[in-house]
A and B are shown apart, each in its own frame.
Chain A
Amino acid sequence: KNQVEQSPQSLIILEGKNCTLQCNYTVSPFSNLRWYKQDTGRGPVSLTIMTFSENTKSNGRYTATLDADTKQSSLHITASQLSDSASYICVVSDPPSTLGRLYFGRGTQLTVWP
């Protein structure tokens, strides 16, 4: 069964600190992996999209890594800010030939304290 598991479920860090969020998936075949940020009461917003051939991709203070062999990804946030408080969702897509269906993780709720 295709699944996306994220850990931890929730995380609290102090402003200025770094953190790493984890994503394990069983989706196969696999096309791309995405990280979304979802602020409370808003729709998800894309942070990064990586294909199976990419190992890392950055977007400002956000760096995503991917190990397609072990089916693991991580999202590293550097020098956290209060505005980073949000849910971070890992999403894995199977190939367009099979509709390109997206499998959503449940998200990691990050809280940044001043």
Chain B
Amino acid sequence: NAGVTQTPKFRILKIGQSMTLQCAQDMNHNYMYWYRQDPGMGLKLIYYSVGAGITDKGEVPNGYNVSRSTTEDFPLRLELAAPSQTSVYFCASTQRDGYEQYFGPGTRLTVT
């Protein structure tokens, strides 16, 4: 059981570039989440999904897009990267809302 995996671990983007952060879980969890963690701040929810084909915005969705074509995968797309998107991104999953969330190891993104 790998749990929640994220790739890449680190990435440097130039302003205006695009990229996709990958997230996969092998626990058959329906609920998946994307968070960002800025230095000295609490995690903020970007997008979430309650099942394949169903996604919705969180607290800070601007500049991001998601898709959920399978239960296992929940990629996060950054279009036209901006310096404000420099952060550490965490993907998480849970069996049911209100249950323990399992986090991936994170992707550290720098936009310059």
- On A, residues with C-beta under 8 Å from B are 4, 31-32, 34, 41-46, 49, 89, 93, 95-96, 99-107
Whole-angstrom CA separation of A99 from B104 in the bound complex: 21
Q: How many residues of B sit at the interface, in one of the four size bands? A: 10 to 19
Minimum distance in angstroms from A95 CB to a CB of chain B = 8
- Per the 8 Å Cβ criterion, residues 24-57 of B in contact with A are 40-45
Question: In this complex, what residue of A is CB-closest to B104?
Answer: A43
Q: What 0/1 readout, one digit per residue, does chain B (59-103) give for beta carbons within 8 Å of chain A?
A: 000000000000000000000000000000010100001101111
Inter-subunit contact B103/A45 (CB<8 Å): yes
- On B, residues with C-beta under 8 Å from A are 4, 40-45, 90, 92, 97-98, 100-106
Partner of A100, one of B41, B97, B100, B104: B97
Whole-angstrom CA separation of A32 from B98 in the bound complex: 8
With contact pairs A93-B98, A96-B97, A99-B97 given, residues A104 and B103 touching in the complex (Cβ less than 8 Å): no
Question: In this complex, what residue of B is CB-closest to A100?
Answer: B97
Whole-angstrom CA separation of A23 from B96 in the bound complex: 25
Inter-subunit contact A102/B97 (CB<8 Å): no
